[in-house]
Amino acid sequence: MKKISIVIPMYYEEQVAEECYKRVTNVLKSIENYDYEIIFINDGSKDKTLDILEKLAQNDGKVKVISFSRNFGHQAAVTAGLKYVSGDAVIIMDADLQDPPELIPDMLKYWENGYDVIYGKRKKREGESVFKLLTAKVFYETLNKLSDVEIPKDTGDFRLVDKKVVDVINNLPEHNKFLRGLFSWVGFKQYAYEYERKERVAGKTKYPLKKMIKLAKDGIFSFSTKPLKIVGGLGIISVIISIVILVYAILSYAYNWNNLTAGWTSMMCTMTFLGGVILISLWMIGEYIGRIYEETKQRPQYIIEKTINI
Ligand code: UDP
Ligand code: MG
């Protein structure tokens, strides 16, 4: 019998923990021929989340709990959950039921038909602020402009993933995993599963601006070294400006325009020129650092999906 593992991170989710367990369990019981496990990760909540999870685990052997010593963040919690899964397919979802568990049976069909990653793509988002929608849009646009891999827009971490893909992710040595980027980066047969993202059933978002900025930074800097190259462009612009000023100054002396204060030319030229040279040098160092950074991530150069006659 095939087994499904559900991974659910929780940070101060005492208001939704039980309801989350019930809804997920109902769905999983309704689909026959599959065994299942639910792995909850308590990401250092100091409310009753852990107590509730402990009780659930006492009464139901299918519930497994990982509890962090402190708050390490959503991505770390999901990463930890993925290490402990034992199922053939793994589903990652939020605790607040914004990603409806009722979609699981349908997603499973795509998995049975040969897809390895079925990622949730939000075609509608209910109950989310204009600010959240706007920042999300700006983030995904920027990320896609900068990044070397295509990271699908309007997707979060809600997805069903085949165990072999989870194994690849687990074996990546890099820390600070930006999961939705990596799941896209690893390839395999992917399916964009469109769904309507619901409102949080209770409680408030656990993603304040500070955490969103950290996530955005992880996403951009771990998938792109382009920011390092931007300083190169600034340096070139600066040098060009210094040349323009110099030409202007020479002309003004030659034709006796007499409009320049003494010292202005030398000051401006030196400043812009040196500024430019410094920025260009920084960019060159940046190119090396970028390469060192790529190497330290130790991502494999390729991932083999299957071999034949080997
Ligand atoms: N979460 C977590 N650690 C954190 C922040 C959030 O484990 O530091 C969990 C949270 O409990 C939820 C999921 O990550 O299950 C998504 O968080 P939330 O719903 O607050 O984010 P939003 O939907 O508002 O983007
Ligand atoms: Mg949410």
CATH of the domain at 25: 3.90.550.10
Q: Which residues pair with 88 in a beta bridge?
A: none
> Do 18 and 158 have their domain in common?
yes
For 57-70, how does the pLDDT look when each residue is reduced to its tens digit (9 = 90+)?
999 989 999 999 88
Q: What is the DSSP letter of 41?
A: E
| Pair (51, 154) in one structural domain | yes
Per-residue pLDDT band for 72 (boundaries 50, 70, 90) equals: confident
Q: What is the DSSP string of 147-185?
A: -SS---TTEEEEEEEEHHHHHHHHH---SS--HHHHHHH
Among residues 75, 93, 96, the alpha carbon closest in space to that of 18 is found at 96
Pocket of ligand 1 (CB under 6 A): 9-11, 13, 43, 71, 73-74, 77, 94-96, 98, 205-207
Domain residue limits at 269: 226-297
Residues 206 and 247 placed together within one structural domain of the fold: no
188 plus 84 within the same structural domain? yes
71 Cα to the center of ligand 2, angstroms: 17
199 and 259 both lie in a single domain = no
Q: What pLDDT digit, counting tens, does each position of 132-146 carry?
A: 788 888 888 887 888
Alpha carbon distance 127, 67 (integer Å): 29
**Amino acid occupying residue 275:** G
- Tell which atom from ligand 1 comes closest to the C-alpha of 94: 15
The region of weakest confidence among 58-72, 117-131, 149-163, 169-183 is 117-131
Select from 93, 96, 199, 214 the residue to mutate for testing ligand 1; criterion: most ligand atoms less than 8 Å from CB: 96
The ligand 1 atom nearest the CA atom of 13: 11
Q: Which residue of 98, 206, 213, 218 sits with most ligand 1 atoms within 8 Å of its CB, as the best mutation to test the pocket?
A: 206
CA nearest neighbour of 92 among 176, 10, 15: 10
Q: What angle do CA 203, 208, 212 make, to 5 degrees?
A: 130
Same domain flag for 109 and 236: no
Same domain, 260 and 197: no
Q: Are residues 232 and 211 part of one domain?
A: no
Question: Are residue 21 and residue 65 in the same domain, yes or no?
Answer: yes
Arithmetic mean of pLDDT over the chain? 86
Closest ligand 1 atom to residue 77 Cα is 7
Q: Does residue 148 sit in the same domain as residue 160?
A: yes
**What pLDDT does 92 receive?**
96
CA–CA separation, 11 and 302 (whole Å): 35
Please give the model's pTM, rounded to 2 decimal places: 0.78
Ligand 2 centroid – CA 203 distance (Å): 9
108 and 233, same domain (yes or no): no
Q: Residue 304 pLDDT > 70, yes or no?
A: no
- With bands split at pLDDT 50, 70 and 90, how would you rate the model's confidence at 95? very high
> According to DSSP H, which parts of the chain are helical?
17-30, 49-59, 74-83, 104-112, 130-146, 163-171, 179-185, 209-223, 226-254, 264-297
Name the domain count of the chain: 2
Residues 213 and 254 in one domain: no
CA distances from 125 to 7, 95, 99, 214 (A): 22, 16, 10, 22
